[in-house]
A and B are shown apart, each in its own frame.
Chain A
Amino acid sequence: MNNGLRKKQFLEVPLSYSIDVYKRKFKPTRDIVSFFAFVSFFPQLVAGPIERATNLLPQFSAKRTFEYNNAFDGVKQILWGLFKKVVIADNCALIVNQVFDNYTNYSGSTLLLGAFFFAFQIYGDFSGYSDIAIGTARLFGFELKQNFAYPYFSRDIAEFWRRWHISLSTWFRDYLYIPLGGSRGGSWVKTRNTFVIFLISGLWHGANWTFIVWGIFNALLFLPLLLTKRNRKNLDVVATQSMFPNFRDVISMASTFVLTSLGWIFFRAESLPKAFSYLNNIFTRSLFSKPYVFGIGETQALLIIIFISVLIITEWFGRRKLHALHFDKKQNVFIQWIVCFTIAIIIFLFGGKQQDFIYFQF
């Protein structure tokens, strides 16, 4: 376990509790066992989600009864989290590490592909861990808040930030952005607050210029939406009334994904000059050449693409639910166990070489 991370966890959780108590949003607990159980609750201890006292603390003193459906749902969410981490993130890491470590040797198309793969790696890693944590908590009868709400189906960057690492985004929103004045006030205040929150968000990930520029990049994408009051345009789930998105939604989602992926280059690069050089090398004539990654066979590359497709399709059909495998209660239990079995075998067969959670670094 990363000590730095545990320190952060031990900072954010009690801090939010103290602020909520101070602002009289929450009555202080006199139950010391519940308090420390809340602060050190093991599923969220290593790497979040950052749970609030208002949601989690009362659950320690409430009577919990075992429910088959809840526990089974926990198992499904753990398995889906493992799929995202072991199959998606760890396999994408093979390509990403190769491309980012030797970016000067690759064509623009390979570099762009490397950035897209990193987008899936970091999503599989972060949200995979969250799913495992939330699922584990559910097995014990605890309900943690959803932390990733299918962010790559976002139609603009504001929606993306409402769906990505929700517990951290809302923590910054409630304890930093709103106390600073939020989006009330004039354009100057809005601009200042947006930059402050994205800069702090970048710094939260590490004291490196790459994270700061990543924060600024996102602030620059977010700001036009805020200033033109279009930041809350896409509050609902995409294609709420239909099975498939319309053309406009597809374009919006694709462009948001591309912009986010370009931002992730700063997040992944070892230094700022390398990040800019990587970006620079993308936009060359070789952007239209056939991508190739040294040491990755065609079968392996095809498998990774197939699994990313499985991830996208499963999450698309589960986008209105708390997690992608959150089946309707009417669904046959036997079939659900078969699905779980299939996923477990896929994880075993196709799991990539073990990589540490990226999340553990923060």
Chain B
Amino acid sequence: MKKFVLHTSLFILCVTASILTIFSFADGSSDEFYLKLTTPKQENLILGTSKAAQGLQPKVLENVLDKKFYNFAFSLLASPYGKTYLTSIKNKLDRSTKGNIFILTIDPWSICSLTQNSNDSSYFRENKSFLYSVRNVNTSPNFYYLIHHFQGSYYKLIFNKSPAFLHNDGWLEVELVADNKDVERRTEFTVDDYREKLASYRYSDVRFEYLKKTIDYLNIYGKVYLVRLPVHPALMEVENTLMPNFDSVIQKAIEISDGYIDFSASNSEYKYIDGVHLNKESGEKLSSALGYWIKSRE
């Protein structure tokens, strides 16, 4: 019996050590979110969904504004405005600092809900996401996330050929084939997908209240700027169908912020990888334009 216990203990020890070693390979190429949950608390934040995660480049903003930015935007499923995202923002924010800059991207999707009753927050989509259950967003390695929420098999931690790479500043760089036909095909597919979403998404007062709560909370630590990112004109039509009164609805949020800039007027000036997300060059151009706009208001 002693020999068996000794051998199995050694076996378990070796397996555990190997698993920890494999976990140590987790980096920006592992998945689209992991690294954001491993960095220390941050001062200047970029917030929103995947549009912001891919579109706003912290380094470009830093060059213009001379402040280090951190992109803490996730996805439409995980980080629409609501209690879950606000809690995560509170956990990520370095509350010992003041005079920071916060960029909140807004669009109809991020204040809409998929639930039958759009204000029934107990069934909000993000309640099933990693952001709801991962309380500690500043620990490295983040074992809880890796064990409970890492998508797919762990071999991807070692051999990943994903076109997405998450930088240390939270920017998600996506390199997809830039061939015009591919972009057109992806755009068509994505716009169709969003058109299908129209049937299930509804404006939520609760989400909008949480957007205001988020602004109120961040106002304590610095200036809050609201941004509407550009999208492909075809998708803009879908967004206008979803919330034709978007501009008037968000007025109350704009009033409590330090400014709002709407890039949707220049949708056709930017290029997208799929109609929703800006490509790298356009993201750089937009981040720079945003940076100068903020600078002009400082």
A residues neighboring B (CB under 8 Å): 66, 68, 71-72, 75, 91, 299, 303, 333, 337, 340-341, 344-345, 348-353
How far does the alpha carbon of A348 sit from the alpha carbon of B156 in the complex, in Å? 11
Query: Are B153 and A349 touching (Cβ within 8 A)?
Result: yes
How far does the alpha carbon of A75 sit from the alpha carbon of B9 in the complex, in Å? 12
How far does the alpha carbon of A341 sit from the alpha carbon of B13 in the complex, in Å? 10
Query: Are A337 and B154 touching (Cβ within 8 A)?
Result: no
Closest Cβ neighbor of B156 among chain A residues: A349
In the complex, chain A residues whose CB is within 8 Å of the CB of B10: 337
CB distance from B26 to the nearest CB of A (A): 13
Query: Are B152 and A75 touching (Cβ within 8 A)?
Result: no
**How many A-B Cβ pairs are below 8 Å?**
45
B292 at the interface (CB under 8 A from A): no
Query: Are A345 and B18 touching (Cβ within 8 A)?
Result: yes
In-complex Cβ contact of B155 among A68, A333, A350 (8 A):
A350
Query: Are B4 and A341 touching (Cβ within 8 A)?
Result: no
The number of chain B residues with a CB under 8 A from chain A is: 19
In the complex, chain A residues whose CB is within 8 Å of the CB of B151: 353
B residues neighboring A (CB under 8 Å): 1, 3-4, 7-8, 10-11, 14-15, 18-19, 22, 151-155, 158, 161
In-complex Cβ contact of A350 among B11, B14, B18, B153 (8 A):
B153
In-complex Cβ contact of A348 among B7, B11, B19 (8 A):
B19
- With A66-B1, A75-B8, A341-B11 already in contact, the answer to whether A349 and B152 are too (CB < 8 A) is no
Query: Are A341 and B153 touching (Cβ within 8 A)?
Result: no
How far does the alpha carbon of A226 sit from the alpha carbon of B120 in the complex, in Å? 62
Given A91-B153, A341-B18, 16 new contacts (CB under 8 A): A68-B4, A72-B7, A75-B8, A303-B155, A337-B7, A337-B10, A340-B11, A341-B14, A348-B15, A348-B18, A348-B19, A348-B22, A348-B154, A349-B22, A350-B154, A352-B153
Query: Are A341 and B15 touching (Cβ within 8 A)?
Result: yes
Query: Are B19 and A337 touching (Cβ within 8 A)?
Result: no
In the complex, chain B residues whose CB is within 8 Å of the CB of A340: 11
How far does the alpha carbon of A68 sit from the alpha carbon of B1 in the complex, in Å? 7
How far does the alpha carbon of A344 sit from the alpha carbon of B14 in the complex, in Å? 10
How far does the alpha carbon of A72 sit from the alpha carbon of B4 in the complex, in Å? 8
Closest Cβ neighbor of B10 among chain A residues: A337
How far does the alpha carbon of A303 sit from the alpha carbon of B155 in the complex, in Å? 11
In the complex, chain A residues whose CB is within 8 Å of the CB of B8: 75
How far does the alpha carbon of A169 sit from the alpha carbon of B57 in the complex, in Å? 63
In-complex Cβ contact of A344 among B3, B15, B152, B158 (8 A):
B15
How far does the alpha carbon of A340 sit from the alpha carbon of B8 in the complex, in Å? 11
Query: Are B161 and A66 touching (Cβ within 8 A)?
Result: no
Which of B1, B3, B155 has most chain A Cβ within 10 Å? Answer: B155
In-complex Cβ contact of A71 among B4, B11, B22 (8 A):
B4
Closest Cβ neighbor of B3 among chain A residues: A68
In the complex, chain A residues whose CB is within 8 Å of the CB of B153: 91, 349-353
19 residue pairs of the A-B complex, CB under 8 angstroms, read: A66-B4, A68-B1, A68-B3, A91-B153, A333-B7, A337-B7, A341-B15, A344-B15, A345-B15, A348-B22, A348-B154, A349-B22, A350-B154, A350-B155, A351-B153, A351-B154, A353-B151, A353-B152, A353-B153
CB distance from B8 to the nearest CB of A (A): 7
How far does the alpha carbon of A356 sit from the alpha carbon of B135 in the complex, in Å? 27
Closest Cβ neighbor of B18 among chain A residues: A345
Query: Are A337 and B155 touching (Cβ within 8 A)?
Result: no
CB distance from A87 to the nearest CB of B (A): 9
CB distance from A270 to the nearest CB of B (A): 23
Closest Cβ neighbor of B161 among chain A residues: A299
In the complex, chain A residues whose CB is within 8 Å of the CB of B19: 348
How far does the alpha carbon of A350 sit from the alpha carbon of B154 in the complex, in Å? 6
How far does the alpha carbon of A214 sit from the alpha carbon of B14 in the complex, in Å? 45
In the complex, chain A residues whose CB is within 8 Å of the CB of B154: 348-351
Query: Are B15 and A337 touching (Cβ within 8 A)?
Result: no
Query: Are A337 and B11 touching (Cβ within 8 A)?
Result: yes
CB distance from B161 to the nearest CB of A (A): 7
In the complex, chain A residues whose CB is within 8 Å of the CB of B4: 66, 68, 71-72
In the complex, chain B residues whose CB is within 8 Å of the CB of A344: 11, 15
Closest Cβ neighbor of A66 among chain B residues: B1
In the complex, chain A residues whose CB is within 8 Å of the CB of B22: 348-349
CB distance from A94 to the nearest CB of B (A): 9
In the complex, chain B residues whose CB is within 8 Å of the CB of A68: 1, 3-4
How far does the alpha carbon of A131 sit from the alpha carbon of B215 in the complex, in Å? 56
How far does the alpha carbon of A29 sit from the alpha carbon of B19 in the complex, in Å? 48
In the complex, chain B residues whose CB is within 8 Å of the CB of A299: 161
CB distance from A334 to the nearest CB of B (A): 9
How far does the alpha carbon of A350 sit from the alpha carbon of B151 in the complex, in Å? 12
How far does the alpha carbon of A91 sit from the alpha carbon of B154 in the complex, in Å? 13
